[in-house]
A and B are shown apart, each in its own frame.
Chain A
Amino acid sequence: MLEIKNLHVNIDGKEILKGIDLEIKAGETHAIMGKNGSGKTTLARVIAGQKEGCEISGQVNFLGRNLFEMEPEERARAGIFLAFQNPIEVPGVALSSFLTSSLNEIRKARKELPLDWFDFSRQVEEKTKSLGLKEEFLSRGVNEGFSGGERKKNEIFQMMVLQPRLALLDEIDSGLDIDSLKRVAKIINNSRKEDNAFLMITHYQRILNYIKPDFVHVMVEGRIVKSGNSKLAKEVEKTGYGNFS
């Protein structure tokens, strides 16, 4: 589904990604673990379409298409979703209308008919309950007045509505208490299917106790230095990142 070959990214003249190779097949869940500053978020944002201030070289294919020929909105419509590490606030833009527009753009790309507000409301009611979010948050501005943890839940809520082919979850566990973490993990596990894939980016091993990845990659200073199965995550937890380079 996603093929990354020798990806190099410089931001403002500084080399952040130094030759990343990664392949994610449909049905797989991968985890990338690394310290702050290792380049994990840059990797996620570049896949999602960030170009500002970046010099990018290498090859990235998504479902057989050259990702670098696609604008961020085209990538979203093709089925890429990024749950941001620090989701921003967009007050004055109601989440419901924002998400309806977004969903309908994606449905249009899939040659499906758009949903109207009524159909949309029915679909989302259950989803808000499963995350423990109050329904009134739909009429508020996107992330308006939300705590960090609530913003993360909102990212997962959007993922549930948009049903991407490839979900990039950047530190989805940060800011969540244990109950919320369990809810979010349950939702992600229930979303794992044969035709979609997940890339979880995390600093800590904790979330991987709840969402067991098929593959784990350790990232140090812009490179993937080791890959393995879920046991690798336990190894990192035990020894820290210092042993890998």
Chain B
Amino acid sequence: MEIFLKEKEKLNYFTLNNASTNIYLAKESHLCVYSFTFGEESVKNNLNVILEEEQAKAELYGLYLVSDGQIAENNTFLRHLAPFCQSFQQYYGILAGKGRAVFNGRIRIERKAKGTDAYLENKNILLSNDAEVLGRPFLEIFDDDVKCTHAFSASLLEEDEIFYLRSRGIDKETAKKILLTSFAKKIINKVNKPSLKENLCAKISQFLSEKLEGKN
């Protein structure tokens, strides 16, 4: 799948699972891409965004919820070919049971891309000790005058946060759901359509109800 944004064009795009997508950005164009994977069969998503002309902006948001026997693989490749472009990536994951996730985030900033501002963040919450996530940022930077930040984390739910909510009368399972929902909402809140947001929240709620039941 190939998509071309014209000069100053704006696009909100939702990727399909198991798709390979290349998106090209012209001058001052603005792209928002969303990738959602909710407890389905294993998926592999490839997303390449090429910022071809100056002052283009790309925002990539991903949320994956996986459980036993599922692997969510997200591969993104951001190519900065022109000056003063911005790229912003936030991929969040919740892994239950023996779920697996892989995130490969490649950023390449060419020599003519001075003034680039690139940001890459992959955050994961593991609901069990059997879940596994592999995060691989890969940065190729060929210009000095750029800003490129990347962050990766994988952790269990914070006990302190759970305790804080329980100390206010909220039971353990509900506290976990509240914290996980608020985590997922950081991505969902980037979607502009209220009806779609509701739909997504309902799917998350369903996943959490199924996966948190019977667990400690």
Contact = CB atoms under 8 A, between A and B. Distances in A.
Most buried by B among A49, A72, A93, A101: A72
A102 B161 contact: no
B168 A102 contact: yes
B169 A73 contact: yes
Interface string B147-177: 0000000000011110111111111101100
Nearest to B178: A93
B182 A102 contact: no
A91 B182 contact: yes
Contacts of A48: 167
A139 to B, nearest CB: 14
Given A71-B172, A73-B172, A90 B182 contact: yes
Contacts of B178: 93, 98
A90 B169 contact: no
Interface in A78-107: 81-82, 84, 87-88, 90-93, 98-99, 101-102, 105-106
A23 to B, nearest CB: 23
A141 interface: yes
A77 interface: yes
A32 interface: no
24 contacts: A45-B163, A49-B166, A49-B167, A52-B163, A71-B166, A71-B172, A73-B167, A73-B169, A73-B171, A73-B175, A76-B168, A76-B169, A77-B169, A84-B167, A88-B161, A90-B182, A91-B182, A91-B186, A92-B186, A98-B168, A101-B170, A102-B170, A105-B170, A105-B171
A11 B82 CA distance: 56
Interface string A49-81: 110100000000000000000011101110001
Given A52-B159, A90-B182, A141-B182, A102 B164 contact: no
Contacts of B169: 73, 76-77, 102, 105-106, 109, 162
A98 B166 CA distance: 11
Given A49-B163, A52-B159, A72-B163, A92 B168 contact: no
A82 B167 contact: yes
A158 interface: yes
B183 interface: yes
Contacts of A71: 166, 171-172
B139 interface: no
Contacts of B161: 88, 90
A88 B171 contact: no
Given A73-B175, A98-B165, 11 more contacts: A71-B171, A73-B169, A77-B169, A88-B160, A92-B181, A92-B182, A99-B168, A101-B174, A102-B169, A105-B171, A162-B168
Interface of A: 45, 48-50, 52, 71-73, 75-77, 81-82, 84, 87-88, 90-93, 98-99, 101-102, 105-106, 109, 141, 158, 162
B164 A76 contact: no
B179 interface: yes
A98 B179 CA distance: 11
B153 to A, nearest CB: 15
A106 B168 CA distance: 8
Nearest to B188: A92
A6 to B, nearest CB: 24
Contacts of B170: 73, 101-102, 105
Contacts of A82: 167
Which one of A50, A73, A76, A77 has the highest number of Cβ atoms from chain B below 10 Å of its Cβ? Answer: A73
A109 to B, nearest CB: 8
A116 to B, nearest CB: 18
A82 B165 CA distance: 11
A187 B163 CA distance: 26
B185 interface: yes
Contacts of A73: 166-172, 175
Contacts of B168: 73, 76, 98-99, 102, 105, 158, 162
B183 A84 contact: no
